[in-house]
Structures are given as structure tokens and as C-alpha cells.
Amino acid sequence: GESVGLHLPTLSVQEGDNSIINCAYSNSASDYFIWYKQESGKGPQFIIDIRSNMDKRQGQRVTVLLNKTVKHLSLQIAATQPGDSAVYFCAERTPQGAQKLVFGQGTRLTINP
Amino acid sequence: NAGVTQTPKFQVLKTGQSMTLQCAQDMNHNSMYWYRQDPGMGLRLIYYSASEGTTDKGEVPNGYNVSRLNKREFSLRLESAAPSQTSVYFCASSEWQGGSYEQYFGPGTRLTVT
């Protein structure tokens, strides 16, 4: 079946630096991608999403880039803050998925003071 | 507006016991989902309900049953709990609108089966 994977399971950055979290997806026909943030002991929270007809989308301090040629998705967080420490998941909607999402394993982001 | 609520927050069961996890949403969403999350893992879909009156299996349905009681409520039942079902369970809901498939998650139920 389809799977969404991540290049790095953990990432440490200095406070104030920019961070980039990567995600590889396997289904070239997936048409929608989404990033979630999960803090310890909580449910996932929506960060940003992007449709396959776009290459880039920006939010507040976050940018998602989509490279369909190599089936790669990234989340950029600008000027990281201690509150950004969390696990970040990408997910994709596959053509067979209706309203279902397929989640990756997650990357733990740690912000060092 | 509470969003997605789940009860209980924590539960310890002995092998073979049964229990029902409750989930409710107040956003008038048609679709609801149950996921499990094991340590260091992503979310795996157990069952989902595209609309009231329908349910379908996800990636890991064995050992579970669900009931879509009404549009608001979607429950997950473990008939005979096993240690392999120790996990954190998340309920979510969604409504396709404006091109978004965002799912809204509850706070989770932490289940331990001994």
C-alpha cells in the first residue's frame, strides 16, 4: 500500500534558526498533503496544507514546499521558538482515499536554547 | 465549541476485558475516524465513517468494532482486549470544504492492556 515516510526521525535546531522537516511520499497521484504538529500528550494539530496543483504555500512562520517530480514535501519553520518543539507529521490523500489521510511516522523537532 | 472530545482519557484493562471508547464532535462533520498511535510511530487508521450510517475498515481493524451512533458520535469497542492493543487512540472528524481534507483530532485515550 501507499506510505508516507520521513528522511529524519529527529532534528535539533538552535532557537531562532530556521528548520526544515522533510517528507517523501510514494503515490504520485496523491492530490493533497497536510502537516500536523503533535505536542507531548496531545492530539495532532493542523499546521498547513497544500494541494497538488501548487508548489508552495505560506502560513505564519511556516512554508510548505511540494516537489512532485521527486515526490517530496517539506515544512520550513522560520525563526524557531521553544514552543515549536514537537513531533511533526506529514500526511497525504491518495486517489483511493476519499477523505482518508495516510500519515508518515513523524519527525521529532527539538529546539535548543 | 469543544471540537472533538474523547472519553476516557486513561484506561487500564486486563487481557480479555472489553471496553468502549467514546468520541463526539460538535462541528457537524460528516466524516469521523479512529486511529491508534504506538510509541515512535505515526497514526494508523482503524476504522472510519464517511457519513452517518456507514463505517469502513482502515489499515488495522482486527480486534475492534465501531458504531456511528449518530452524526455527532463514533465509538470504538474492544471486545476482548489484548496487550498488543496497548496504544494511544485518537478520534478525528472532517468535512470536505474549500479543497481541504483537514482532520480535527481529539486529545486521545491512553489504553494499557496488562
In three state form, how does the secondary structure of chain B look? CCCEEEECCEEEECCCCCEEEEEEECCCCCEEEEEEECCCCCEEEEEEECCCCCCEECCCCCCEEEEECCCCEEEEEECCCCHHHCEEEEEEEECCECCECCEEECCCEEEEEC
Express each pLDDT in B57-91 by its tens digit. 999 999 999 999 899 999 999 999 999 999 999 99
Residues of A in contact with B108 (CB under 8 A): 41-43
**A17: DSSP letter:** S
Residue A44 touches chain B, beta carbons under 8 Å: yes
Over 50: is that where the pLDDT of B17 sits? yes
Whole-number Å distance between alpha carbons of A83 and A87 = 11
Residue A40 touches chain B, beta carbons under 8 Å: no
Task: Output the tens digit of pLDDT for each of chain A's 113 residues.
Answer: 334 544 448 999 999 999 999 999 988 999 999 999 999 999 999 999 999 999 999 999 999 999 999 999 999 999 999 999 999 999 999 887 678 899 988 999 999 98
Residue A37 touches chain B, beta carbons under 8 Å: no
Find the residue in B nearest to A106 (Cα): B42
Question: Residue range B18-43: average pLDDT?
Answer: 94
Q: Is the peptide bond before B61 cis (omega within 30 degrees of 0)?
A: no
Residues of B in contact with A4 (CB under 8 A): 42
B108/A49 CB distance under 8 A: no
Residue A12 touches chain B, beta carbons under 8 Å: no
pLDDT the model gives residue A4:
54
